[in-house]
């Protein structure tokens, strides 16, 4: 047994000074290890902005740790001696420092957890894996909650989280008399709506250096770096959060589901990249949103809608990921086998809504929730695209994409690939929904009100094609009773017309060429 220091590896999404692995450590007896490993930047070919964000945030965090007195051993991406994997780098660091043990916060990804569980055997030193206390619902509590129920619905989990945190509670009752103000949060986009500008952050010398590195090493990856302006430190993330709370939160609820051409951010917070990396604390954010409501500066539906996303959806999604893995990664309940179309990478499609969603994704490594769910996800669901290809795409292209949050959203919420464990019915919609919530259809080559034929909005016929081909699996779902009743009332000729129209459209889809995602 050596008497060297304890090694504390900090992963790219663990950039929090309050991290559990640091909490009981003495800087005099600890070496923090940070690793930019090639395996993590290339196992899917991430958007260039996502890689820049993570590496720049890691480098800034390492500098902050050093300023606070920690010894940081930092392995850069272009270190010629790097083995390119977490396990390889950890083994090298244990030997380099003569470490007597390793202490680490549990990772956000199943694949990394598997590797971490093997460290005890491979490293020959004591390995302590601690819970990630940045999440508000410990995993054992989530498993207990899930184990006691037949149906795992977010709404009930969310109510428990309100009670647990005391957020928006008046005694044991929900503030404002209701748990959920979603009905008030369905405002459509009004043409001419001009949301406040989102603050951007000019790349500093550290970020510039990473941009150069990524342009060299990841030239063929999807996405542009021209508009890179994500916060890369906790201080910048705080500035961005403050601007959201004061300028956009008041209308966050009303326009949460809206979509508008050229308006990539609307009233959304854009906090997910910083939050998922650990630069922001979820409970602190929610307390600030609650304080805005208490001070009378935002309506209850805005504060409640926003807090529900974080203590409700975000925590629930994380619990579901760990509950359902590893099966979730392979789930394909609807047996969808169509390859991902090439236009998901190029944006070259006459479908205006999809072209816009891919454009903002390429330019910003961001699209808001309704673009992800009701445009991209809805299309993939209706067209029957293989969930694993859709998931690879979502994991690669968004700055906030970590598998624990991306996979349940894609496989569970958007594609119903989990057979309805996460969402009680598929989020399938025809063009009418997109028309109602956006201004896209007016400038689209397709006609949203036309149901079939070469000029009809493809979503219309695809919607019925989806229901028809999945009738055996979905007709028993009580929430789909009405659409199936409508389908059955249609004449055989009308049904055949819908199916032929959808088939004709599907044959035009060019599969993505290999190499975009992996």
Ligand X SMILES: Cc1cc2nc3c(=O)[nH]c(=O)nc-3n(C[C@H](O)[C@H](O)[C@H](O)COP(=O)(O)OP(=O)(O)OC[C@H]3O[C@@H](n4cnc5c(N)ncnc54)[C@H](O)[C@@H]3O)c2cc1C
Residues in contact with ligand SF4 by CB under 6 A are 351-353, 431, 434-435, 440-441, 444, 446, 448, 457-459
Among ligand SF4, ligand X, none, the one that 380 touches (CB under a kind-dependent 5 to 8 A) is none
- From the list 11, 373, 397, 422, which residue makes contact with ligand X (rule: CB under 6 A)? 373
Task: Pick the piece of the chain touching ligand X (CB under 6 A) from 5-13, 75-83, 132-140, 312-320.
Answer: 312-320
Among ligand X, ligand SF4, none, the one that 152 touches (CB under a kind-dependent 5 to 8 A) is none
CB-CB contact of 401 with 393 (8 Å): no
CB-CB contact of 415 with 463 (8 Å): no
CB-CB contact of 321 with 404 (8 Å): yes
270 is a contact residue toward ligand X (CB under 6 A): yes
CB-CB contact of 193 with 245 (8 Å): no
- What is the closest distance, in whole angstroms, from the C-beta atom of residue 447 to ligand SF4 in the complex? 7
279 is a contact residue toward ligand X (CB under 6 A): no
Q: How far apart are CA 86 and CA 107, in angstroms?
A: 12
> Which residue in 14, 18, 25 sits closest to 101, CA to CA?
25
- What is the closest distance, in whole angstroms, from the C-beta atom of residue 499 to ligand X in the complex? 27
Is the CB of 404 or the CB of 464 nearer to ligand X? 404
Which residue carries 């819970």 as its tokens? 131
Q: How far apart are CA 394 and CA 388, in angstroms?
A: 10
- What helix, strand, coil percent values describe the chain, rounded to 5? 55, 10, 40
Which residue carries 């059955």 as its tokens? 488
Q: Is the dihedral of CA 21, 101, 55, 313 positive or negative?
A: negative
Is the CB of 145 or the CB of 267 nearer to ligand X? 267
- What is the closest distance, in whole angstroms, from the C-beta atom of residue 393 to ligand SF4 in the complex? 19
CB-CB contact of 441 with 448 (8 Å): yes
- What is the closest distance, in whole angstroms, from the C-beta atom of residue 396 to ligand SF4 in the complex? 23
Among ligand SF4, ligand X, none, the one that 119 touches (CB under a kind-dependent 5 to 8 A) is none
Among ligand SF4, ligand X, none, the one that 435 touches (CB under a kind-dependent 5 to 8 A) is ligand SF4
> Which residue in 310, 297, 286 sits closest to 168, CA to CA?
286
Among ligand X, ligand SF4, none, the one that 356 touches (CB under a kind-dependent 5 to 8 A) is none
Is the CB of 65 or the CB of 310 nearer to ligand X? 310
369 is a contact residue toward ligand X (CB under 6 A): yes
Query: Between 325 and 364, how does the x/- string for binding to ligand X read (CB under 6 A)?
Result: ----------------------------------------
- From the list 21, 276, 361, 430, which residue makes contact with ligand X (rule: CB under 6 A)? 276
Is the CB of 396 or the CB of 448 nearer to ligand SF4? 448
382 is a contact residue toward ligand X (CB under 6 A): no
Task: Pick the piece of the chain touching ligand X (CB under 6 A) from 72-80, 224-232, 263-271, 453-461.
Answer: 263-271
Is the CB of 16 or the CB of 360 nearer to ligand SF4? 360
CB atoms within 10 A of CB 505: 22
Is the CB of 89 or the CB of 109 nearer to ligand X? 109
**Total residues interacting with ligand X, rule: CB under 6 A:** 27
CB-CB contact of 332 with 386 (8 Å): yes
Task: Pick the piece of the chain touching ligand X (CB under 6 A) from 178-186, 305-313, 462-470, 502-510.
Answer: 305-313
- From the list 82, 269, 378, 470, which residue makes contact with ligand X (rule: CB under 6 A)? 269
- What is the closest distance, in whole angstroms, from the C-beta atom of residue 309 to ligand X in the complex? 3
Q: Burial level of 73, CB count in 10 A (0-12/13-18/19+)?
A: middle
Q: How far apart are CA 81 and CA 358, in angstroms?
A: 38
- What is the closest distance, in whole angstroms, from the C-beta atom of residue 445 to ligand SF4 in the complex? 7
368 is a contact residue toward ligand X (CB under 6 A): yes
CB-CB contact of 315 with 291 (8 Å): no
> Which residue in 187, 143, 134 sits closest to 311, CA to CA?
134
- What is the closest distance, in whole angstroms, from the C-beta atom of residue 285 to ligand SF4 in the complex? 33
DSSP string spanning 179-244?
A: S--GGG--PPPPTT--PPPPP-----HHHHHHHHHHHHH-TTSSS--TT-----SHHHHHHHHHHI
310 is a contact residue toward ligand X (CB under 6 A): yes
Query: Between 5 and 44, how does the x/- string for binding to ligand X read (CB under 6 A)?
Result: ----------------------------------------
Note the Cα 109 to chain centre separation in Å. Answer: 13
- What is the closest distance, in whole angstroms, from the C-beta atom of residue 500 to ligand X in the complex? 29
Q: Burial level of 449, CB count in 10 A (0-12/13-18/19+)?
A: exposed
Note the Cα 118 to chain centre separation in Å. Answer: 28
Interface residues with ligand X (CB under 6 A) are 268-272, 275-276, 309-310, 313-314, 317, 368-369, 372-373, 377, 394, 398, 400-401, 405-406, 409-410, 413-414
């Amino acid at each position: 047994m050596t008497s060297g220091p304890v090694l504390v590896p900090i992963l790219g999404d663990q950039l929090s000074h309050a991290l559990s692995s640091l909490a009981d450590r003495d800087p005099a007896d600890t070496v923090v290890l940070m690793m930019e490993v090639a395996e993590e930047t290339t196992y899917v070919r991430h958007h260039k902005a996502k890689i820049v964000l993570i590496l720049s945030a890691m480098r800034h965090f390492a500098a902050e740790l050093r300023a606070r007195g920690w010894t940081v051993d930092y392995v850069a991406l272009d270190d010629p001696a790097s083995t390119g994997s977490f396990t390889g780098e950890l083994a090298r660091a244990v030997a380099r420092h003569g470490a007597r043990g390793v202490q680490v916060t549990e990772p956000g990804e199943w694949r990394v957890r598997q590797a971490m569980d093997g460290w005890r055997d491979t490293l020959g030193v004591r390995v302590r894996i601690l819970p990630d206390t940045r999440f508000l619902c410990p995993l054992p509590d989530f498993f207990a909650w899930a184990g006691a129920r037949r149906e795992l619905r977010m709404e009930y989990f969310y109510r428990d989280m309100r009670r647990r945190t005391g957020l928006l509670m008046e005694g044991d009752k929900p503030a404002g008399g209701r748990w959920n103000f979603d009905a008030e949060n369905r405002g459509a986009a009004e043409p001419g709506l001009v949301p406040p500008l989102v603050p951007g952050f000019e790349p500093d010398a550290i970020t510039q250096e990473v941009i150069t590195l990524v342009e060299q090493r990841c030239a063929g990856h999807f996405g542009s770096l021209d508009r890179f302006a994500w916060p890369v430190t906790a201080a910048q993330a705080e500035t961005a959060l403050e601007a959201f709370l004061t300028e956009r939160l008041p209308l966050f609820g009303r326009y949460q589901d809206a979509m508008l051409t050229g308006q990539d951010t609307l009233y959304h917070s854009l906090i997910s990249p910083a939050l998922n990396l650990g630069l922001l604390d979820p409970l602190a954010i929610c307390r600030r949103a609650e304080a805005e409501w208490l001070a009378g500066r935002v309506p209850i539906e805005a504060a409640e809608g926003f807090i529900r996303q974080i203590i409700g959806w975000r925590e629930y999604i994380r619990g579901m990921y760990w509950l359902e893995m590893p099966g979730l990664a392979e789930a394909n309940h609807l047996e969808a086998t169509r390859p991902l179309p090439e236009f998901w990478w190029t944006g070259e499609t006459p479908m205006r809504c999809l072209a816009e969603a891919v454009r903002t994704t390429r330019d910003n490594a961001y699209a808001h929730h309704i673009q992800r769910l009701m445009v991209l996800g809805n299309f993939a669901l209706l067209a029957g695209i293989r969930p694993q290809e859709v998931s690879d795409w979502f994991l690669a292209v968004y700055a906030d994409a970590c598998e624990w949050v991306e996979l349940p959203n894609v496989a569970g919420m958007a594609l119903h690939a989990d057979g309805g464990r996460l969402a009680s019915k598929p989020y399938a919609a025809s063009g009418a929904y997109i028309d109602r919530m956006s201004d896209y259809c007016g400038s689209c080559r397709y006609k949203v009100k036309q149901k079939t034929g070469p000029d009809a909005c493809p979503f219309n016929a695809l919607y019925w094609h989806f229901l028809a081909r999945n009738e055996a699996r979905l007709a028993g779902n009580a929430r789909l009773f009405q659409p199936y009743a409508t389908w059955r009332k249609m004449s055989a000729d009308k049904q055949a017309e819908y199916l032929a129209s959808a088939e004709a459209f599907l044959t035009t889809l060019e599969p993505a060429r290999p190499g975009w995602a992996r």
